[in-house]
Amino acid sequence: MSKARWRKARWVGLAVYCCVALLAATSCGSDDDDDGSAGGGTTTTAADTQIAGLGPTLEEIKQKAREEGEVNLVIWAGYADKSWAKPFTQQTGCKVVTKDGASSDDMVDLMGTGAYDGVSASGDATLRLIAREDVAPVNFDLTPNYADVFPGLKDKSYNTVDGVGYGVPHGRGPNLLVFRKDKLPAGTDSWAPVWDGSQAGKLSIYDNPIYIADAAVYLMATQPDLGIENPYKLDQKQFDAAVDLLKEQKPQIAKYWDGTTYADQVTTFKSGETTVGTTWPYQTNLMAAEKPPVPVTSLKPKEGTTGWSDTWMIAKNAAHPNCMYLWLNYIISPEANAKVAEYFGEAPSNSKACALTKDANHCDTYHATDEAWWEDVYYWDTPTTDCGDDRGEVCKAYEDWKAAWTEIKG
Amino acid sequence: MSSVPRVEPPPRATPGRRLSSFFHRHPFGRAASLLAAPIGWLVVVYLGSLVLLLMAAFWETEPFTNDVVRNWNLDNFRRLLEQDVYRDVALRTITMAGLVTIADAVLAFPIAYYMARVARPRTREILVVAILTPLWASYLVKAFAWNAMLGNDGFIGWLLEPFGIGPPGDSVGLWLTFTYFWLPFMILPVFTGLERIPNSLLEASGDLGARSLRTFWKVTLPLAFPAVVAGSIFTFSLTLGDFILPTLIANEQFIGTVIYNERSAGLPLAAAFAMVPIIVMTVYLVVARRLGAFRAL
């Protein structure tokens, strides 16, 4: 065969291959379209809590779990530390296998693979998981510890749809204002230094589209005429105002941090590279543990703040539904819940956990029982086009939040 | 008595022999059976996954659940063209890759020249080991080390302090880090390129009356240039695609970080944006080939 003909044959081969691949993909596509349109908006009945292979009573679940012998979880790193996962395995015979999710988006992706029994989802992932029908409602009769969960965490928009509960509350925490005592006035109790330019070049900010809600919380207090009531339900005008505020803030930021670089925040506050910003209680614990301790104060400012309330959910097609139900019940048991809450510096979800924490004051420090304290903490939620009020379907969906965040970062 | 000439009996037609003669008669079959596995791998696994990824660029996501919907359209590309931010990010990344490449070339050439033409064999060995050693260290360890060095009370800030200069900004810091990371990938091809220049050419140049500087400009540098271009393929493409160093060191977004951030809830847009480095690298490779870089590799 001549060289030229060889060359031709090569290209023809590649072209044929591409065509075949394209055809394969398009034919798959037409199959999947039906699934896509079926997502969202379906109502669930109590019968839906039945998952294939799940025992009808707690006793039978315990027996069947012994046969399953394993539970596969998608978690926020550390949510199944062996100090409470090991006792679970001893009690139930279910080995705990985990996969860390890097972000809420990542967790939604992982659950979509169908390879996992359950997930510890934050409020900005839960509704997406429900709409994609990746998770099943929970039958709370089979999770007796649910009775002791704080009422303030039950029946929330991020874990309950049309009166049907989709998971058990894991615990909650606020995103706090943190600042160097020696660099900012002593009485600081407002988000203002983060937004007004007084600490330009010294800000430490959480790097995620959901941070747009933090701008909205500040606007709620400072520009009441925008009429923001829920920082996750922003119409065009409110959204634009928040994005503009964030664009003004961008050049003042010294360092972004996120779920993978949070330890960096400790370093920058220590060196004074950053003087004020947002933080999780977890990092303030790390800063206090430094030698000498980093001179910072952290608090919930007067404008209120965003926060998280995580929910353990069960996959609709869980391969180990019995082990997963036992885990749902176990992780909100007073003993396990107390361990998790202290490990992360968050408020436990089980009211009886407060008596079991190593630090007797843990629940007071983290306001676990003080419902009034949580009133102006807006838990992470999934932004949707449905505003949930008389404005109708004019709010900005998460897709827009993501695009805006890319734009803000420039 | 006449002896009958001995005729070799034809070998028994075992399956092995039959196969052997089949391949002898059919060179195409021989090539096909040898290459089927590697080409299958290359086309199905390597190119196939790439094609699948790029097809996602023509799909869209469901706005609420972020599910990929296989609905063919060009919206992602429209968004990339209409929103300034993507153009800014692409230009910033390409500029960074260019600056890193230039810095690496300037740093690598003297080192490679010393190794190839000046150093004694023993010194050369030590230098090769010294250049390769950092490649054995973990990427993340090096990244965090640079992150610490570039910090407010870091080593580089301390070095610059006596001159009244503050610690380097994000962009300069990232540029320094990238230059450090990819330097070995520039030194090694240039070293090989310089080593391959025959001494006779340099001697001929001297015999014809050229002084050493002129020999360097007229003989050494032109002959080594394809090797520099070959090295630049590595430094340029590695900078273009990296997303870890920009995340750790800079606040600015680069092509890699945008794709990384989009990948989980906006795969189609990420796939569309991934076309940008592919196009840039294709152009780069075509130019590099013209400059003879592939022969220097």
Per-residue confidence (pLDDT) for residue B20, from 0 to 100? 87
Statement: residue B160 has pLDDT above 90: no
Statement: residue A46 has pLDDT above 90: no
Domain count, chain A: 2
Q: Which domain holds residue A350?
A: 46-172+308-377
Split at pLDDT 50, 70, 90, the class of A22 is very low
Per-residue confidence (pLDDT) for residue B1, from 0 to 100? 52
Split at pLDDT 50, 70, 90, the class of A40 is very low
Rounded to the nearest angstrom, the minimum Cα separation between A11 and chain B is 12
Q: Which of B50, B64, B152 to mutate to test the interface with A (most CBs of A within 10 A)?
A: B64
Query: Which among A17, A36, A409 has CB closest to B67?
Result: A36
Statement: residue A380 has pLDDT above 70: yes
Q: Are residues A261 and A395 in the same domain?
A: yes
Per-residue confidence (pLDDT) for residue B120, from 0 to 100? 94
A111 reaches B (C-beta below 8 A): no
Could you report the per-residue pLDDT of A210-236, keeping only the tens digit for each? 999 999 999 999 999 999 999 999 999
What CATH code is carried by the domain that includes residue A337? 3.40.190.10
Tokens 């520039």 correspond to what residue?
A: B186
Angstrom distance (rounded) from CA A217 to CA A245:
12
Residue A226 lies in a domain: yes
Largest pairwise CA distance in chain A? 85
DSSP label of B292: T
Residue A16 lies in a domain: no
Split at pLDDT 50, 70, 90, the class of A297 is very high
Beta strands in chain B (DSSP E): 60-61, 68-69
Statement: residue B53 has pLDDT above 60: yes
Split at pLDDT 50, 70, 90, the class of A152 is confident
Q: Which of B60, B66, B153 to mutate to test the interface with A (most CBs of A within 10 A)?
A: B66
Could you report the per-residue pLDDT of A244-296, keeping only the tens digit for each? 999 999 999 998 988 777 888 998 999 888 999 999 888 888 899 898 999 99
Residue A116 lies in a domain: yes
Query: Which among B66, B70, B152 has CB closest to A105?
Result: B66
Residue A257 lies in a domain: yes
Q: What is the ipTM of this complex?
A: 0.76
Q: Are residues A315 and A393 in the same domain?
A: no
Split at pLDDT 50, 70, 90, the class of B15 is confident
Q: Are residues A402 and A270 in the same domain?
A: yes
Residue A28 lies in a domain: no
Residue A14 lies in a domain: no
Tokens 């939604």 correspond to what residue?
A: A108
Per-residue confidence (pLDDT) for residue B3, from 0 to 100? 64
Per-residue confidence (pLDDT) for residue A2, from 0 to 100? 52
Q: Are residues A139 and A88 in the same domain?
A: yes
Could you report the per-residue pLDDT of A158-190, keeping only the tens digit for each? 899 889 999 999 999 999 999 999 999 989 999
Q: Are residues A214 and A201 in the same domain?
A: yes
Q: Are residues A270 and A397 in the same domain?
A: yes
Per-residue confidence (pLDDT) for residue B63, from 0 to 100? 76
Statement: residue B249 has pLDDT above 90: no
Q: Which residues of B touch A36 (CB under 8 A)?
A: 62, 67, 69
More confident residue, A30 or B284: B284
Q: Which residues of B touch A18 (CB under 8 A)?
A: 51
Q: Are residues A194 and A239 in the same domain?
A: yes
Tell me whether residues A264 and B85 touch, CB distance under 8 A: no
Split at pLDDT 50, 70, 90, the class of A4 is low
| Segment B254-267 mean pLDDT | 87
| Segment A71-76 mean pLDDT | 93
Are A160 and A262 contacting, i.e. CB atoms less than 8 angstroms apart? no
Per-residue confidence (pLDDT) for residue A12, from 0 to 100? 53
Query: Which among A33, A127, A399 has CB closest to B61?
Result: A399
Could you tell me which chain B residue has the CA closest to the CA of A408? B85
Tell me whether residues A403 and B265 touch, CB distance under 8 A: no
Split at pLDDT 50, 70, 90, the class of A14 is low
Q: Alpha helix locations (H) across A155-211?
A: 192-195
Angstrom distance (rounded) from CA B48 to CA B54:
10
Per-residue confidence (pLDDT) for residue A33, from 0 to 100? 38
Statement: residue B267 has pLDDT above 90: no
Query: Which among B70, B72, B253 has CB closest to A32?
Result: B70
Strands of the sheet containing A203-206, edge to edge, are A253-257, A203-206, A276-279, A176-180, A296-299
Split at pLDDT 50, 70, 90, the class of B111 is very high
Return residues 390-409 of A near B (CB < 8 Å): 397-400, 402-403, 405-407, 409
DSSP label of B211: -
Rounded to the nearest angstrom, the minimum Cα separation between B221 and chain A is 35
Q: Are residues A260 and A157 in the same domain?
A: no
Statement: residue B240 has pLDDT above 60: yes
Query: Which among A25, A256, A261 has CB closest to B52?
Result: A25
Give whole-number Cα distances, A195 to A203, A217, A270, A298, in Å.
9, 12, 22, 17
Tell me, yes or no, if the pTM score tops 0.90: no
Could you tell me which chain A residue has the CA closest to the CA of B55? A22
| Segment A73-84 mean pLDDT | 87
Rounded to the nearest angstrom, the minimum Cα separation between A55 and chain B is 31
Rounded to the nearest angstrom, the minimum Cα separation between B276 and chain A is 17
Q: Are residues A349 and A372 in the same domain?
A: yes
Structure tokens at A149: 């969960």
Q: How many residues does chain B have?
A: 297
Q: Are residues A391 and A354 in the same domain?
A: no
Split at pLDDT 50, 70, 90, the class of A25 is very low
| Segment B37-62 mean pLDDT | 89
Per-residue confidence (pLDDT) for residue B106, from 0 to 100? 97
**What angle do the packed helices A212-222 and A398-409 form, to 10 degrees?**
90
Q: Are residues A59 and A121 in the same domain?
A: yes
Statement: residue A77 has pLDDT above 90: no
Statement: residue A35 has pLDDT above 70: no
Mean pLDDT (chain B, rounded): 90
Statement: residue B152 has pLDDT above 90: no
**What angle do the packed helices A321-331 and A58-68 form, to 10 degrees?**
120
A253 reaches B (C-beta below 8 A): yes
| Segment B57-69 mean pLDDT | 83
Q: Are residues A227 and A104 in the same domain?
A: no
Residue A26 lies in a domain: no
Rounded to the nearest angstrom, the minimum Cα separation between B264 and chain A is 5
Mean pLDDT (chain A, rounded): 86
Could you report the per-residue pLDDT of A85-116, keeping only the tens digit for each? 999 999 999 999 999 887 788 889 899 889 99
Residue A204 lies in a domain: yes
Domains in chain B, CATH or no CATH each: 78-296 (1.10.3720.10)
Per-residue confidence (pLDDT) for residue B200, from 0 to 100? 93
Q: Which of A406, A407, A409 to mutate to test the interface with B (most CBs of B within 10 A)?
A: A406
Backbone torsion region of residue A385, taken as left when φ is above 0, otherwise alpha when ψ lies between -120 and 50, otherwise beta: alpha
Which range has the top average pLDDT, A34-38, A135-139, B68-72?
Answer: A135-139
Rounded to the nearest angstrom, the minimum Cα separation between A271 and chain B is 6
